[in-house]
């Protein structure tokens, strides 16, 4: 935890207070005190509030991507329709998270280039305060409606689709750029990431028909698409970071690759002329192409997944727990960390395997009792209701996504795990195999 003298010294600066207050306009704010958040919802209107909270041992400030007519009216029991009525817009914030800071810089630079390729000019970027970067596009850049539906009501679905689309766009060049950074030495990447070479390698044929090894950076570098949800928070510009003691500062898009962490030392901070999610000079509707292409791309991918699933196996009844993979069984035993990530995995996993929502809710209640620190029941019930309202099944994160399996400590593969890419595939394969074996015995 940051020492009180450090936080007080920093947050007493009037220029820092004013920047945080500007960023808080029309947003829900959550104040963090060491390893816990204060009461939600909250707002910030007065610069003097920053120092008063710092005196109460506040360490950092976080805010919502969504913009609200009155954030104090929010509550955890609100239904999707009510949230939509209270929401006046949302900004897109792409969160790059990687344990290897230099790789995060490469990813951030490629995302900026991908957004420019999609004709976006109002792009902003800031250092997250630790190992990653946030890339932002203000709501004003999006069209008012998409296919007759108000864009302000399309959160978090639209944001997830854009994040997924951009992630897929940069996947190949990201691997190439990281390899260039490491002098085309796979051993350096493997040594840094401690990854299984088979998980981070794929092959492409060159013009001579030879199989050439390529780097897949997805298992160790995450661009968050799954945890984007209603009332999702990100660290505010000029907030401190508890782990690093550094400041989350906006920066020039052209300087991302040259950015050094010492620039974010609170003792060195000067208020930048570059603003995160700057709403000045935004061209209204400039992100229409990006939004349309993201929806088209993700819908095509979903269709591919659905076709493949129908080809492989038709789920008529809920697949029982005895067919669950090791990672899901470990989640089911209860967790100390990563409970929200595990919740997303469980909801998508169980719905994909034919479980009904009442069954899932009962399952989650029993699971939550086993966690070291329980989630609020209205939180996971709310997530389940949102999923039900979408009226479609989405697969959980693939097995090679470390953030959802390795980082939580639930990736303990058995022999079948090496043959599948997703926990759902494990259960389908295992159930099909055992049923075939049963028929043979009969």
For 366-380, the pLDDT digits (tens) are 999 999 999 888 888
Residue 17 near residue 50, CB atoms below 8 Å: yes
pLDDT value, residue 48: 95
For 217-274, the pLDDT digits (tens) are 888 877 776 557 788 899 999 999 999 999 999 999 999 999 999 999 999 899 999 9
- The percent of residues in the chain predicted with pLDDT above 90, rounded, is 54
Distance CA 10, CA 7 (A): 5
Q: Work out the average pLDDT over 418-435.
A: 80
Nearest Cα to 272, choosing from 2, 14, 16? 16
Indicate the average pLDDT of the chain: 88
Least confident of 10-14, 194-198, 327-331: 194-198
The answer to whether residue 317 scores a pLDDT higher than 80 is no
Least confident of 54-68, 129-143, 338-352, 390-404: 390-404
Nearest Cα to 261, choosing from 128, 136, 91, 87? 128
CA dihedral (261, 266, 271, 276) in degrees, to 10, reads 60
Helical pair 4-11 and 14-23, crossing angle rounded to 10 deg: 80
Q: Output helix, strand, coil percentages for the chain, rounded to the nearest 5.
A: 45, 15, 40
Q: Work out the average pLDDT over 58-85.
A: 93
Least confident of 147-156, 332-341, 390-399: 390-399
Distance CA 174, CA 180 (A): 10
For 13-51, the pLDDT digits (tens) are 999 999 999 999 999 999 999 989 999 999 999 999 999
What pTM did the predictor assign? 0.74
**Where residue 329 falls among pLDDT bands split at 50, 70, 90?**
very high
When computed from its CA atoms, the radius of gyration of the chain, rounded to whole angstroms, is 23
The answer to whether residue 310 scores a pLDDT higher than 50 is no
The answer to whether residue 128 scores a pLDDT higher than 50 is yes
Distance CA 350, CA 357 (A): 9
Q: Parallel, antiparallel, or unpaired: how do β-strands 36-37 and 60-64 relate?
A: unpaired
Residue 361 near residue 384, CB atoms below 8 Å: yes
pLDDT value, residue 378: 85
pLDDT value, residue 307: 45
What's the N-to-C CA distance of the chain in angstroms? 63
The answer to whether residue 77 scores a pLDDT higher than 80 is yes
**Tokens at residue 163, please?**
């994040």
Distance CA 10, CA 240 (A): 9
- The percent of residues in the chain predicted with pLDDT above 70, rounded, is 92
Domain boundaries, given as residue ranges, for the chain:
4-172+222-291, 316-431
For 278-296, the pLDDT digits (tens) are 988 898 999 998 998 888 8
Distance CA 244, CA 246 (A): 5
pLDDT value, residue 311: 47
Nearest Cα to 118, choosing from 174, 166, 86? 166
For 362, the enclosing helix (H) or strand (E) is: helix 357-370
For 191-220, the pLDDT digits (tens) are 988 888 888 888 887 777 788 888 988 888
* CATH superfamily ID and name for 4-172+222-291: DNA primase, PRIM domain (3.90.920.10)
């Amino acid at each position: 935890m940051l020492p009180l003298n450090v936080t007080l010294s920093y947050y007493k600066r009037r220029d820092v207070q004013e920047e945080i207050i500007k960023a808080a306009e029309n947003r829900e704010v959550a104040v963090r005190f060491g390893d816990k958040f204060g009461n939600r919802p909250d707002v910030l209107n007065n610069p003097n509030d920053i120092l008063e909270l710092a005196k109460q041992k506040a360490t950092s400030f976080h805010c919502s991507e969504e913009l609200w007519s009155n954030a104090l009216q929010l509550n955890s029991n609100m239904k999707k329709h009510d949230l939509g009525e209270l929401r006046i817009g949302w900004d897109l914030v792409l969160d790059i998270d990687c344990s290897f800071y230099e790789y995060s810089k490469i990813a951030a630079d490629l995302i900026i280039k991908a957004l420019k390729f999609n004709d976006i000019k109002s792009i902003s970027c800031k250092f997250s305060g630790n190992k990653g970067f946030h890339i932002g596009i203000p709501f004003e850049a999006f069209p008012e409606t998409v296919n007759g539906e108000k864009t302000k009501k399309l959160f978090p679905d639209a944001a997830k689709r854009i994040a997924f689309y951009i992630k897929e766009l940069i996947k190949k060049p990201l691997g190439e750029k990281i390899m260039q950074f490491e002098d085309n030495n796979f051993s350096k990447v493997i040594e840094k990431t401690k990854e299984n070479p088979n998980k981070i390698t794929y092959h492409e044929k060159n013009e001579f028909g030879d199989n050439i090894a390529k780097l897949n950076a997805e298992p160790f570098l995450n661009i968050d698409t799954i945890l984007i949800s209603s009332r999702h928070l990100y660290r505010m510009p000029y907030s401190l970071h508890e782990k690093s003691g550094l400041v989350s500062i906006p920066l020039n898009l052209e300087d991302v690759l040259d950015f050094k962490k010492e620039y974010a030392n609170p003792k060195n901070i000067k208020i930048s002329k570059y603003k995160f999610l700057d709403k000045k000079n935004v061209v209204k509707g400039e992100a229409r192409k990006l939004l349309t292409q993201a929806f088209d791309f993700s819908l095509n991918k979903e269709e591919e997944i659905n076709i493949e699933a129908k080809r492989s196996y038709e789920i008529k009844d809920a697949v029982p727990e005895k067919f669950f993979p090791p990672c899901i069984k470990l989640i089911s035993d209860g967790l100390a960390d990563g409970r929200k990530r595990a919740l997303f995995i469980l909801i998508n996993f169980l719905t994909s395997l034919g479980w009904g929502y009442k069954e899932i809710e009962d399952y989650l209640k029993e699971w939550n009792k086993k966690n070291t620190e329980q989630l609020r029941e209205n939180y996971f019930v709310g997530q389940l209701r949102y999923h039900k309202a979408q009226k479609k099944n989405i697969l959980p994160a693939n097995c090679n996504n470390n953030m959802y399996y390795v980082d939580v400590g639930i990736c303990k593969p058995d022999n079948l795990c090496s043959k599948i890419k997703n926990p759902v595939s494990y259960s389908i394969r295992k159930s099909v195999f055992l049923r075939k074996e049963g028929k043979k015995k009969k």
